[in-house]
Structure 1
Amino acid sequence: MMDAMLVSTGMAVWTVLVHMVGLGSLLALARFRTSRIDPRGSVLRQALFILIIVLGLFLVHAVEIWSFALLYLALGVVSGFEEALYFSTSTFTTLGYGDVIIDNHWRLVSAMEGFTGFLMIGWSTAFLVSIVGKLRALEADWLDRPHDADD
C-alpha cells in the first residue's frame, strides 16, 4: 500500500511539473506573439495562433498520459503498450470505461491519475480561455483607441 501511495504522489508531482513547464512554454509563445499582434491583421492568423495553443495543450496532456501508460507497463499491470495507453487515456480523462482493470495493489495509482487528469484538464481549459480572452481584449483595446487617418 505504501509503495502505491509513493508512486501515486510521485506521478502527481511529475504531472504537475510537466503541465507547469508546458503551460509556461505556451505562455511564452503567447507573450511573444501578442507583443507583435496587429488587431487589423488576418483572422486566419489569429485562428492559427489559437490552433497552435490548442495543439500545444494536446501535446502536454499526451506527455502526461504517456507517462502514466509507461508506468503501468513498467509495473506489469497491463499486457502491452496499447492497453496501457488506452487505460491511461480513459483514466486521465475520467471516462473510465472499466473494460481494463489493473491489480488492486496499484489501483490507487489509477485513482490519482483520474484526479490529476481532471485537475490538469481544468487548468488547461482556464489557460485557453485566458489566452482567447487576452486576444479579444487586445482587439477591443485597439478598436477603442483613436487612430490617425493614415493608420
Structure 2
Amino acid sequence: MNLASSLLLSTVMVVLTTAIHMAGLAGLIAVMRWREGRSSYVSTAWWQMALILGVMLTLFFLHAIEIWVYAALYRIGGVIDTFEAALYFSTSTFTTVGYGDIVLGPGWRVLAAIESANGFLLLGWSTAFLLQVVSRLRSVEFRWLDRREDEAELFEARKAARKEEDAD
C-alpha cells in the first residue's frame, strides 16, 4: 500500500472509531440523563458505585470495539496471519504500549502509528468523560447533603420556636 492509500485508510479509520466513540458516549449520556430524572439515586453510595462501574464497563466496551475494528482491518488486509495476533497488535498499538514484537510492513506502518495517536486521543476522551461523571456525582451529592442540612436546620429552628411557644 502506498502512502496516499495509507493516509486515506487511516483517515477513514479515525473517523469510524471517533463516530463509534461519540455514539457510545451519547448513548451513555442519554441513559444517565433518563435515570437521573427518575429518582435521587445519586444520593446513595451504592448507586454511585454502580453508575461508575457501568460507565467504566461501557468505556471499556467502546475501546474494545474500536480495537477490534483495527484488528479486523489488519487481518482482512492480510498484514497479520491470525486474528489473535491482529487483536494483540491492535491492542498494544491502540493503547500506545507498542511492544514491537509484531512489526508491520512498510505500507502499513503509517496506519499503525495513526492508530496509536487515535487510541491515545480516544482513551483521553474517555478519561475526561469519566472524570466529569465522578465530578457531577460529587456535586449532586453535595447539593443533596446541603438540602438535608438545610432541612435539619429548619427542623431544629421550628422545634426551638415550638419550645418557646410552649414556655410562654
TM category, shorter = over 0.9
Structure 1's 82 and 38: CA in aligned 2 closer, same or farther, altered over 3 A? Answer: closer
Q: How does 1:75-86 map to 2 (within 5 A)?
A: 75-86=77-88
Give the secondary-structure state (helix, strand or coil) at the position aligned to 1:95.
coil
**Structure 1 residue aligned with 2:26, among 24, 27, 42?**
24
Question: Structure 2: how far apart are the matches of 1:124 and 1:40?
Answer: 24
**Structure 1 residue aligned with 2:40, among 6, 29, 37?**
37
**Structure 1 residue aligned with 2:67, among 65, 68, 91?**
65
Percent identical across equivalent pairs? 47
Q: Choose between structure 1 and 2 for higher RCO, CA contacts under 8 A separated by at least 6 residues.
A: 1
Unaligned runs of 5+ in 1: none
8 Å contact 1:50–1:132 — kept in the other structure? yes
8 Å contact 1:34–1:135 — kept in the other structure? no
Cα offset for 1:136?
0.7
Whose Rg is larger?
2
Q: Which residue of 2 aligns with 1:144?
A: 146
Cα offset for 1:2?
1.1
Consecutive aligned runs of 4 or more in structure 1 exceeding 4 Å deviation: none
Question: Structure 2: how far apart are the matches of 1:40 and 1:6?
Answer: 48
Unaligned runs of 5+ in 2: 156-168
Structure 1's 105 and 84: CA in aligned 2 closer, same or farther, altered over 3 A? Answer: same
Q: Which residue of 1 aligns with 2:11?
A: 9
Structure 1's 39 and 73: CA in aligned 2 closer, same or farther, altered over 3 A? Answer: closer
Q: Does 1:92 align with 2:94?
A: yes
Structure 1's 140 and 103: CA in aligned 2 closer, same or farther, altered over 3 A? Answer: same
Question: Structure 2: how far apart are the matches of 1:83 and 1:103?
Answer: 15
8 Å contact 1:5–1:109 — kept in the other structure? yes
